[in-house]
Amino acid sequence: MLKHLSDTGRHEKINALIKRSEAATTISVSGWASLEKEFGEEIYSEALYQLTRLELSPPRAKICVNDILVHQAELADRLSRPVGLLTAVCDYFQYVKPMLNEPVLVEVRLLLQKEEGAYKDELTGLFNRRYFNIELTREMERYRRFGHPFSLLMIDVDHFKRVNDKHGHLAGDQALRTLAGILNQSARLCDRAARFGGEEFTVILPQSCREEALIAAERIRAEVARTPVVYEGANLGPITVSVGVATYPADALDCAQLLRRADEALYQAKRKRNHVAAFRDPKRQHPRYPIDSQLSLSLPGGRGGNLVCRAKNISFGGLLCETDSGAPANSDVEVTLTDRDKNLHLAMRAQVRRMHKIEGNRFFLGLSFELPTAEEQTRLTEFIQGLSQVTH
């Protein structure tokens, strides 16, 4: 997995530790611990990737780094001279825990040039679809760790065929390069812009909700619309783009679904052209997911007892359940969703928004979730993902 080298602070601190080790003796465990405290266990995976190009999970990488530090000290003691981190890493992965069968010495600059070529689009200089797929998966993993939502922009050039037909394909290439330049200028350091294919582009916006993503998308749309395409000294005028916006996890549970949601939003935007649209479920604000009939719901009654219900469907906004007893509208409840067969469990606060009597003495209750913390949002995401995995 290509690591996100544009994350400047993290990358510089890793390099500083590595260089300090090579120039002096060993780095103490506390040096890595301080990085872990700031960036999480992922720092160990990134460090070993930079040193070896081995792809290890954060917990496994942490064990290896700590073992390497011990091994580095032992080598220095045996040789009676300082031993650099790179030397210790190479020896460790060759003889202590063999994972590098035939290591090759290569200049870092040349290695990065090769990797950059593999993940960069030749025409625009943006990242390519291969890199985009890696980073989208990585951003979802980051959500599971930290609970920060993120958004995806799908961008398509309006009437691009007309540009090629009128001015030629080389002028069309220049139009794409102009758009790529705007995406680079508009992006934050943590954003990742990529050419998805043809005249379609994507931007991953970490830690961005739907509203923030819409602002970013509108900024891009407006900048493109006022920036002329200049080809061979001639001003061809500006192009326009349509932008679709989808947000994880509110709109989707996995990479493929998030792409579909963003593409659906793009389709809505292209009906108007030069427009931005966010994904919206035509019936509800949040997509709903069916719950297996064996899943049960319990919530405290007015006298402190439990009101046993049957869950029908769930979304990131709330829950629909069926029960043989009513509950007062706007009453606060404690909700516990469990399915022992599938090892699913979730407890959270909610509020009764509506009650509808159905046949016999049974009722439908509509509950809205209260999720004030990132931890609770993450737990709900994982719960719905669990349901999705066992029903598909």
What is the four-CA torsion angle of 377, 379, 385, 387, rounded to 10 degrees?
Answer: -120
Question: Can you read off the two tokens belonging to residue 307?
Answer: 């009101």
Write down the residue that tokens 């939502």 correspond to: 149
Query: What's the CA gap between 172 and 386, in Å, rounded?
Result: 45
**DSSP summary character for residue 92:** I
Residues 331, 332, 334, 339, Cα dihedral to 10°: 50
Whether 359 sits among the annotated catalytic residues: the reply is no
**Closest to 151 in 3D by CA, of 64, 252, 78:** 252
Instruction: Tally the residues of the chain.
Output: 392
C-alpha count within 13 angstroms, C-beta hemisphere, residue 382: 17
Nearest to 194 by CA among 126, 243, 135, 119: 126
Find the catalytic residue in 38, 199, 200, 264: 199
* Contacts of the segment 167-173: beta carbons below 8 A, 24+ positions apart: 167/231, 167/236, 170/231, 171/229, 171/231, 171/236, 173/123
Query: Nearest CA to 65 among 77, 78, 56, 74?
Result: 56
Annotated active-site positions, please? 199
